[in-house]
């Protein structure tokens, strides 16, 4: 999360590769086994409310344009991609009884923010306040006052519902937060749920990894 700029050995921006491209290859490769499990199988990806910071940069996903990289733009892109991938999977798999979801587990005290904590204090304060306003629509202080940290057990709950609740397939949407499925644009941005953008991401992902997946 919010790492300094880095490219993987394959030349991909690190957060995009870790949150999306790696899962794109792995999931598409093992889909025959998922489909063999039969109707009711689930694919659950971990996204974040941070997707509301920014969408996928289709023309420059690896931030090659000089000066374009910011930690949270890259994080937002990566987490938006997780949701779009779930949309694309559902288009391909729902008719066969297999559904995909993208889960925001909530704010949990883990080492996820270890890279953020290495930013100099004054720069960190500005960066975190900007992220809070763009993602949550309120100051960081206000958000923490109304949304305390979750325990690890609480943080597992939304993921478990996405994986296990059979009733979800009767409802619209792919994005879950606070243990509930939502399509409210306040919580899940259109740039992360638009079917056309989902197909555009699928094509881009195939081009980047150099492999076609006939799903």
Task: Report the catalytic residues.
Answer: 69
What are the start-end ranges of the E strands in the chain? 42-46, 99-104, 175-177, 180-182
Helices assigned H by DSSP within 100-194: 121-136, 140-146, 152-164
Q: Which residue has the tokens 């919580």?
A: 187
**Tokens (6 digits) for 202:** 């699928």
| Other Cβ atoms closer than 10 A to 44 | 19
Q: Which residue has the tokens 């997780």?
A: 82
Output the CA–CA distances (angstroms, integers) from residue 4 to 76, 115, 143, 191, in the order listed. Answer: 14, 8, 25, 24
Sign of the Cα torsion 129, 198, 58, 45 reads positive
Report the C-alpha dihedral over residues 200, 14, 80, 137, rounded to 10 degrees. -150
């Amino acid at each position: 999360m919010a790492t300094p700029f880095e490219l993987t050995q394959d030349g991909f921006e690190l957060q995009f590769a870790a949150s999306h491209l790696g899962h794109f290859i792995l999931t598409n490769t093992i889909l025959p086994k998922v489909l063999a499990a039969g109707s009711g199988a689930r694919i659950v990806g971990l996204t974040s409310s941070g997707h509301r910071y920014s969408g996928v940069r289709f023309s420059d996903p690896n931030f090659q344009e000089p000066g374009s990289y910011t930690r949270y733009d890259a994080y937002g892109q990566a987490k938006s991609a997780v949701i779009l991938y779930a949309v694309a999977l559902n288009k391909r798999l729902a008719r066969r009884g297999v559904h995909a979801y993208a889960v925001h587990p909530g704010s949990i005290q883990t080492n996820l923010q270890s890279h953020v904590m290495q930013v100099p204090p004054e720069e960190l304060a500005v960066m975190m306040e900007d992220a809070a306003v763009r993602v949550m629509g309120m100051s960081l202080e206000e958000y923490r006052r109304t949304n305390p940290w979750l325990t690890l057990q609480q943080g597992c709950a939304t993921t478990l519902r996405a994986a296990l609740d059979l009733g979800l397939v009767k409802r619209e949407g792919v994005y879950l937060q606070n243990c509930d499925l939502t399509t409210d644009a306040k919580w899940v941005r259109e740039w992360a749920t638009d079917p056309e953008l989902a197909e555009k991401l699928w094509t881009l992902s195939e081009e980047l990894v150099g492999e076609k997946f006939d799903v």
